[in-house]
């Protein structure tokens, strides 16, 4: 009898932050962003591909339906998109052009998100182009981040929704999002960072 062939599992190494239980004082830094980890450890993870699940068809309508289903089940997805900027004679450097991003690319992505999710409104808060060339100080290009991280603290996110953009705040309030989020926040934590002694939001 022959041996049953084993399925090959691809694995990749990813730096993971080490929680040394030392909390930095949020009142001595920008509270919006979490502190960058001082220590990391390399961990081997299995690499699970989902390309076939969402991009396995040559039919655009089928791929879109698969992408929507995958988004509903997993909270993220992928979809093919050919931007008008892809045919720009300047190549990928056009993605470092602020005007082109604001006037062409961001509206394209907003429309794509509406088609994919069925939402009524899309707000572009910010964007950033990353690349290895950033090490040579290419204008408009940020270095790649190869570590799992959160862009904002919980308090920073709450503040950003309410105070960074009036149109975003008004839309969230009109849709009832702020009221639901605030009720959930108070029922689970009820934290108010009003003074230096109130730092529990760092642990949310």
pLDDT at 187 over 80: no
pLDDT confidence of 67, banded at 50, 70, 90? very high
Q: What is the pLDDT of residue 197?
A: 46
| CA dist list (Å): 135 to 31, 40, 59, 204 | 27, 21, 40, 34
Length of the chain: 204
Q: What is the pLDDT of residue 182?
A: 84
Q: What is the pLDDT of residue 90?
A: 79
For residues 197 and 154, give the distance between their C-alpha atoms in angstroms, rounded to a whole number: 17
H helix runs in 41-141, sequence order: 51-55, 60-74, 98-100, 106-117
Q: What is the pLDDT of residue 75?
A: 92
pLDDT confidence of 118, banded at 50, 70, 90? very high
Average pLDDT for 104-119: 94
Q: What is the pLDDT of residue 63?
A: 93
φ, ψ (nearest 5 deg) of residue 118: 80, 10
Q: What is the pLDDT of residue 128?
A: 81
178 contacts 161 by C-beta, under 8 angstroms? yes
For residues 78 and 57, give the distance between their C-alpha atoms in angstroms, rounded to a whole number: 13
Q: Which two tokens stand for residue 153?
A: 């603290």
Buried b (16+ CB within 10 A) or exposed e, 159-191: ebbbeeeeebbebbeeeeebeeeeeebeeeeeb
Q: Which two tokens stand for residue 5?
A: 């062939």
φ, ψ (nearest 5 deg) of residue 145: -110, 115
Average pLDDT for 25-34: 68
15 contacts 40 by C-beta, under 8 angstroms? yes
pLDDT confidence of 113, banded at 50, 70, 90? very high
- pLDDT tens-digit map of 124-139: 888 888 877 655 666 6
Name, of 26-35, 87-96, 109-118, 128-137, the range with top average pLDDT. Answer: 109-118
pLDDT > 90 fraction of the chain, expressed in percent and rounded: 31
pLDDT > 70 fraction of the chain, expressed in percent and rounded: 78
pLDDT at 150 over 50: yes
Q: What is the pLDDT of residue 26?
A: 57
């Amino acid at each position: 009898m022959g041996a049953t062939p084993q399925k090959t599992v691809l694995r990749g190494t990813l730096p993971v932050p080490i929680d040394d239980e030392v909390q930095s004082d949020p009142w001595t830094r920008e509270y919006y962003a979490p502190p960058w980890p001082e220590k990391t450890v390399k961990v081997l993870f299995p690499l699970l591909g989902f390309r076939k699940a969402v991009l396995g068809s040559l039919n655009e309508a089928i791929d879109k339906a698969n992408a929507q289903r995958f988004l509903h089940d997993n909270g993220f997805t992928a979809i093919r998109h050919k931007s008008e900027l892809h045919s720009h004679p300047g190549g990928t450097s056009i993605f470092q052009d602020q005007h082109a991003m604001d006037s062409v690319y961001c509206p394209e992505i907003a429309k794509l998100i509406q088609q994919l999710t069925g939402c009524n409104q899309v707000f572009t808060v910010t964007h950033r182009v990353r690349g290895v060339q950033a090490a040579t100080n290419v204008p408009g290009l940020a270095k790649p981040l190869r570590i799992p991280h959160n862009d904002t603290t919980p308090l920073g996110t709450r503040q950003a929704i309410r105070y960074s953009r009036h149109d975003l705040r008004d839309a969230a309030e009109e849709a009832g999002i702020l009221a639901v989020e605030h009720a959930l926040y108070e029922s689970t934590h009820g934290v108010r960072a009003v003074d230096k002694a109130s730092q529990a939001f760092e642990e949310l």
